[in-house]
Amino acid sequence: MEYTAEKVIQDFANLGHSDALVRQKANQDLLEFKTSPHAWAVSQNLLGTQGNQTVQFLGAQVFYLKVKGDFATLGENEREEVKRFIFNTIETGFDKYNPPTFRQLCASASVIAIRSIPVSWGNFIPEMIELANTSNQHLLGVLEILSNFHREFDDLQIHETQRSQIKEVLKNSSGQLCKFFEIILQNIDDPKILVKTLESACSLIEMGGFELLNYPDLVQVLMKAMPNDKLFKMVIEVLCEGLRCSEYSDAILKVGFEAAFASIKEEIKISVKKIIEFLATEVYGQYVQMKSSDKTLFCEGTTQLAAYVGVYFNIFIFENTDHSKVLLKFLLICTSHHDRMISHMTFEFWEIFCQLIQRQDVF
């Protein structure tokens, strides 16, 4: 069957037809179309349709499905052609497409980048940062691409060797990413850009290629952004994922206190101690005052952060500094919170804490 943009538009319209047989035929034709080689060109034609956002979104969806399922099977020249098309479209499409269509295009770009990095695109991050610096529209596009990385990385069938290569590329570009995120958080006021920046950071942390705790200055910038109500929840998530996904988390369980503490990089120690100091000096007093109020978002977020420090970096509690003692007291207060959902967040820490103090091989 020959597929054209016009036929696909008609089939899409027929999905709402009153005749069940017409709907069934349209659905079958669309399913066959999405798996056909014609879908590459037709989806691009649909994206080029002027003034019809529904058709454009259909084109973006079809293109995404083709990228997800078939990009890896294309020849080198075809892959480069598809890559060039999608990134050119994103560069020029911020004002051309509605937000759902633009986000779908960025998801396609994420898949293409993940597939291309191990083979031929080792400088992906520097190129994206360079593009982001040209305008706020390009910045949002780049952040949208990066924010999709973890989801697409987990969902794609990729050989473990390639996964390691992708993480290594991110690791090698971590310094640039850190500075990129810092500059945005310190110099831009647009909440949409700031939230998308935090989502991007969280996505890369969860992938395992970006070690947040290696960058104490960025950790400090994140904590300074916490009073912003629009960013609070997302900042907490980034810091918590930074603690959970660190290669040094649970160090004390692996080799004991002294060896574990000696093995942790100085930058990691500084970052974790900054978080503990922040909880002890900036959060503790506020928490005690607000504990009985209805302002549960603050209590929920800071309890989660304190519990993550306790669960994943309990080694610093056993360091027995003044701030670690306050953190331990803070966790006790969190456990007594009237909201059971909040108090429950601390239970895993106390379970681990009890196990550790009874183990002779740890100390």
Measured at the alpha carbon of residue 121, what is the angle toward residues 138 and 151, in degrees to the nearest 5? 65
Which of the residue ranges 31-35, 59-63, 292-296, 304-308 would you say has the lowest mean pLDDT? 292-296
- Say if residue 182's pLDDT is above 80: yes
CA distance 7 to 14: 10
- Say if residue 363's pLDDT is above 80: no
CA distance 300 to 53: 40
CA distance 245 to 178: 16
24-50 per-position pLDDT tens digit: 888 888 888 777 888 888 889 889 888
CB of 255 within 8 A of CB of 307? Answer: no
CA distance 159 to 161: 5
Q: Give the three-class secondary structure for 195.
A: helix
Where do the structural domains in the chain lie, given as residue ranges?
Answer: 226-363
CB of 180 within 8 A of CB of 132? Answer: yes
CA distance 95 to 323: 50
228-252 per-position pLDDT tens digit: 999 999 999 999 999 999 999 987 7
**Dihedral sign, CA of 10, 12, 13, 16?**
positive
Burial 182-213 (b: 16+ CB within 10 A, else e): bebbeeeeeeebbbbbbbbbbbbbbbbbbbbb
DSSP secondary structure code for residue 51 in this structure = S
